[in-house]
Amino acid sequence: MFDVAKLGKGSALLSLGAAASALLSFLILPILARLLTPSDFGVAVVALSMLELGAVLGGTGAMAAAVTYFKNRGDDYDQSAFWISLFLGFCLGAVCVIYANPMADFFGSPQSAPLIRVVGFLIPLEALAGISEAFITRRQQFGKVTVVKLIASIISVIAALFLAFNGYGVWSLIWQYGLFVVLRFIAFLVLSGHKPRLVFSTHAIREMLPYIFRITGAETFVWLSRQSPLLIVTNYLGVASGGINRVSDRLTELPRQVFGESIRKSLFVGVADVSDEDAATGFLWALRLNFLILSPAYLGLISLAAPITDSVLGAQFAPFWPIVALFSLGQFVQLPFNCTQSFFQARGHASAVFLLEGFRALLIFVSVILACILFGTLWNAVLALGIAKLISTIASLIYLRQEFSIGYSRMLNVISAPLISALVMCVSTFLLYAYFLDPFGAFLSSFIGVSIGVSVYALALYILSPSDFEEAHKMLLRFKTRLRTGTGS
């Protein structure tokens, strides 16, 4: 039976760690920006993108998904997945080490070559850290994952600041990510309890490989979906537009990274081995939780885009608040997509995940490139990106209804209260800023607008759905008890 309490508790624990890590990254960025040059960041981005691509092609996420999906098949499956991860990690790491110079030249950054070589040594560690983390999360021991990531983030951030202050330049960024990977690898390997044995089952490999290949393909499409808009905008509209695109996207990604990813991971573990009806219940609960937390965040960011952009990103980005608002709208329309993909993956519909991600990547690529060619403005490019996200979300919901018989009315029923409350908040804060708050300045307007917006949302939600408050209160009490007694994970 699907356990709602475990999903809520897992999401809360993972969100706590993600929020702390995101806050650390958000706080360190302005400091490093004053200690390092823009070219330092550019050189580091090339190397770190190779780490991300290596993790995707190495099947880090796919292998983690496989050990969760096949968790009741025996130790042979775990051992085989572990050795595949290690093999792929070493192969891809060796490619980075051997071909660092050609790769750096291809991206137009020869200075990145030594950094790419270092990344090559990190890729196998990242692969093993990913599968070891999966051994922990499939037991729903989310607290261990949270603590490890939080401690690793703190140590790596301190190291990066120390090196940056002592003139190590771009290497401070590489050490930050490298130390984070190494600490995660060591901690997860120990805490997972997995004892590697020289077992390599051909039967287990044959059964897992199709699933792994489809998930890896889907994650490659995800990587393309994230990277292609930035590359297209930079090539067609210039480096400045690419910079505005990157910063705006990063700002609006923060709520999803903190809460959405945590809900997605908890959903995947919670519905992997339950009945279809319990899985449907879990999906609807996760969808409701997603809208409960993220719809006010993104609609609020849309309504207060002007003062928030000015106060957070500074005066040089202030004129581009409409871009931030459009990115927020794009994040909002894809809220269901984040849940459906995790649900399909957990229920063994890896082919659907692959096809939907491929469709989404192709649609984003074509939409953004046509917008740049035909209109030549960043605003139209980001608008096209949002439309592509909306279409891909609709496609995923159609498949969900056809294959799992989860009707649109059931989905609308669970999200109606938070959605209506968030819309009321959005309109209220927009009118408040437009007619009353503008003279107060960006920071004060943002603070007052957010404070009033949260109050309006809470009041509207309490009127429409008091049960949400009761459930949230119970979750909070369980979470406090867990922290106080130290029981469980």
Q: Is the pLDDT of residue 23 over 70?
A: no
User: Residue 437: is it exposed, middle or buried by C-beta count within 10 angstroms (0-12/13-18/19+)?
Assistant: buried
Percent of the chain with pLDDT over 90: 21
Instruction: Pick 39 or 125 by higher pLDDT.
Output: 125
pLDDT tens digits for range 317-333: 788 899 999 999 999 99
pLDDT tens digits for range 191-222: 887 777 777 777 777 877 777 777 777 778 87
pLDDT confidence bin for 82, thresholds 50/70/90: confident
In DSSP notation, 80-93 reads HHHHHHHHHHHHHH
Domains of the chain: which residue ranges?
Answer: 1-200, 228-489
Which stretch of 56-70, 353-367, 377-391, 450-464 has the lowest confidence by average pLDDT? 56-70
Nearby residues of 336 by Cβ (< 8 Å), 6 or more positions away: 287, 290, 393, 396, 397, 411
Instruction: Pick 139 or 13 by higher pLDDT.
Output: 139
pLDDT confidence bin for 14, thresholds 50/70/90: low
Q: What pLDDT is attached to residue 436? A: 85
**Cβ-contact 229, 359 below 8 angstroms:** no
**Cβ-contact 152, 187 below 8 angstroms:** yes
**Cβ-contact 85, 131 below 8 angstroms:** yes
Task: Give the CB-side neighbour count of residue 301, counting CA atoms within 13 A.
Answer: 27
Task: Give the CB-side neighbour count of residue 324, counting CA atoms within 13 A.
Answer: 27
pLDDT confidence bin for 29, thresholds 50/70/90: low
| Average pLDDT of the residues in 434-450 | 85
**Helix or strand or coil: residue 114?**
helix
Nearby residues of 484 by Cβ (< 8 Å), 6 or more positions away: none
Q: How far apart are the first and last CA of the chain?
A: 20
- Report the distance separating Cα 255 and Cα 298, nearest Å: 8
| One-letter amino acid of 353 | V
Instruction: Pick 28 or 341 by higher pLDDT.
Output: 341
| Average pLDDT of the residues in 144-171 | 84
pLDDT tens digits for range 270-308: 666 667 777 788 888 888 888 988 999 999 999 999 998
Continuous H helices in 256-377: 261-270, 276-303, 305-313, 321-333, 335-346, 350-374
pLDDT tens digits for range 391-438: 999 999 999 888 888 888 888 988 899 999 999 999 999 999 888 877
- Report the distance separating Cα 138 and Cα 113, nearest Å: 38
Output the CA angle 261-262-266, nearest 5 degrees: 115
pLDDT tens digits for range 134-149: 888 777 677 777 788 8
Residues in the chain, how many? 489
**Cβ-contact 143, 187 below 8 angstroms:** no
In DSSP notation, 355-400 reads HHHHHHHHHHHHHHHHHHHHT--HHHHHHHHHHHHHHHHHHHHHHH
Q: What pLDDT is attached to residue 194? A: 76
Q: Is the pLDDT of residue 22 over 90?
A: no
pTM: 0.70
Q: What pLDDT is attached to residue 56? A: 78
Which stretch of 32-41, 76-85, 249-258 has the lowest confidence by average pLDDT? 32-41
Instruction: Pick 278 or 13 by higher pLDDT.
Output: 278
Q: What pLDDT is attached to residue 13? A: 53
| Radius of gyration in angstroms for the set of CA atoms belonging to the chain, rounded to a whole number | 22
pLDDT confidence bin for 111, thresholds 50/70/90: confident
Look at residues 428, 420, 427 and name the one whose alpha carbon lies nearest to residue 463. Answer: 420
**Tokens linked to 12:** 């809360």
**Cβ-contact 128, 191 below 8 angstroms:** no
Percent of the chain with pLDDT over 70: 79
- Report the distance separating Cα 134 and Cα 345, nearest Å: 14
Give whichever of 109-118, 178-187, 339-348 has the largest mean pLDDT.
Answer: 178-187
| Average pLDDT of the residues in 1-6 | 48
